[in-house]
């Protein structure tokens, strides 16, 4: 049985981690399959968002212990050529919205997977933990850079120093989870969100907005505005801008340009 499943559900591509016997712990094959699933979704003009979830009662328990042990035995994460990209960092470059549909425990690498998504819809059964310090590890894979930008410095510090568990209600209250959903309708809620995007949002514009958000986290205000002003001018000359205005005036569903990842 495949360890990662790809399930198109209308405008939502569901990428399902499928090792329920180990709470969907990740190995290198699964990481590659998730990336391949994202590429498949981007290439499909009928897909407007990607939802990542888990089979069974777990979202993702983190790195498979055999993989983690190999890193520990090597004494380092990378070789002489330099460090690898952060775990699941590629999700932040996927030009379609990525939603973590967190159906259960998300620990260590599973926490990173949820953090790297654009949005997190949490089942009321979800539980989150960085677990770093409780495994003798430090903040991993850009968590010390990205997590404070999601929940604020103090809350991020607490979660990373303590490695404690955070339930779904707390995750929603502090802003790590964007939606709190009944477990029975978690994927359905993700699909409804994608259907709303398909009805109302220009996919090319969404891709640019996602890239702007990621880029501007590291820029000074003036530099961010200068680049955004150029992009605003370019977008005004794109057919989607005309279609957006006309559909509003004519009170009809917009017919935006199909999108398969090309921002040219």
In the chain, the N- to C-terminal Cα span, in Å, equals: 39
- What are the structural domain ranges in the chain? 4-197, 202-249
pTM: 0.91
| Fold of the CATH domain 4-197 | 2-enoyl-CoA Hydratase; Chain A, domain 1 (3.90.226)
Note the pLDDT of residue 133: 76
pLDDT in tens, the chain (264 residues): 799 999 999 999 999 999 999 999 999 999 999 999 999 999 999 999 999 999 999 999 998 876 666 555 555 555 566 677 889 999 999 999 999 999 999 999 999 999 999 999 999 999 999 988 777 776 688 899 999 999 999 999 999 999 999 999 999 999 999 999 999 999 999 999 999 999 999 999 999 999 999 999 888 889 998 988 988 888 888 999 999 999 999 999 999 999 999 887
Residues in the chain: 264
CA-based nearest residue to 128, from 25, 59, 54:
59
Exposure string of 74-91, with b = 16+ CB inside 10 Å and e = fewer, is eeeeeeeeeeeebbbebb
> What is the per-residue pLDDT across 216-263, written as a single tens digit (0 to 9) for each?
988 888 999 898 898 888 888 899 999 999 999 999 999 999 999 988
Note the pLDDT of residue 72: 55
DSSP secondary structure letters along the chain: --SEEEEEETTEEEEEE--GGGTT-B-HHHHHHHHHHHHHHHH-TT--EEEEEESTT-SB--B-HHHHHHHHHHTSSSBTTBPPPPTTGGGGG-SS-EEEEE-SEEETHHHHHHHHSSEEEEETT-EEE--TGGGT----TTHHHHHHHHH-HHHHHHHHHH---EEHHHHHHHTS-SEEE-GGGHHHHHHHHHHHHHHH--HHHHHHHHHHHHHHTTS-HHHHHHHHHHHHHHHHTSHHHHHHHHHHHTTS---PPP-SS---
* C-alpha–C-alpha distance, residues 15 and 41, integer Å: 10
> What is the per-residue pLDDT across 106-120, written as a single tens digit (0 to 9) for each?
999 999 999 999 999
Note the pLDDT of residue 73: 52
Task: Let me know: does 190 contact 99? Beta carbons within 8 Å.
Answer: yes
Note the pLDDT of residue 75: 54
Residue 209, CA distances (Å) to 96, 157, 192, 233, 245 in order: 10, 28, 21, 14, 18
Exposure string of 5-43, with b = 16+ CB inside 10 Å and e = fewer, is ebeeeebbbbbbbbbeeebbbbbeebbebbbebbeebbe
């Amino acid at each position: 049985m495949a360890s990662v499943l790809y399930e198109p559900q209308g405008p939502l591509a569901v990428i399902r981690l499928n090792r329920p016997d180990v709470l969907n712990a990740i190995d290198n094959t699964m990481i590659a399959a998730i990336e391949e699933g994202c590429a498949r979704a981007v290439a499909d003009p009928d897909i407007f968002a990607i939802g990542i979830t888990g089979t069974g009662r777990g979202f993702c328990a983190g790195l498979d212990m055999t993989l983690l042990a190999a890193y520990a035995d090597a004494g380092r994460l990378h070789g002489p050529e330099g460090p690898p990209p952060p775990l699941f960092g590629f999700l932040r470059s996927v030009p379609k919205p990525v939603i973590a549909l967190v159906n259960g425990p998300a620990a260590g690498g599973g926490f990173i997977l949820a953090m790297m998504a654009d949005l997190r819809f949490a089942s009321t059964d979800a539980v989150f933990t960085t677990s770093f310090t409780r495994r003798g590890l430090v903040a991993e894979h850009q968590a010390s850079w990205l997590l404070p930008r999601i929940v604020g410095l103090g809350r991020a510090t607490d979660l990373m120093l303590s490695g404690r568990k955070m339930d779904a209600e707390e995750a929603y209250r502090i802003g790590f989870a964007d939606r709190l959903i009944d477990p029975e309708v978690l994927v359905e809620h993700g699909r409804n969100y994608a259907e709303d995007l398909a009805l109302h949002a220009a996919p090319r514009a969404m891709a640019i907005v996602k890239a702007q958000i990621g880029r501007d986290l590291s820029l000074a205000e003036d530099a961010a505005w200068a680049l955004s002003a150029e992009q605003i001018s370019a977008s005004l000359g794109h057919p989607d801008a005309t279609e957006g205005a006309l559909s509003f005036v004519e009170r009809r569903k917009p017919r935006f340009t199909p999108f398969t990842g090309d921002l040219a």
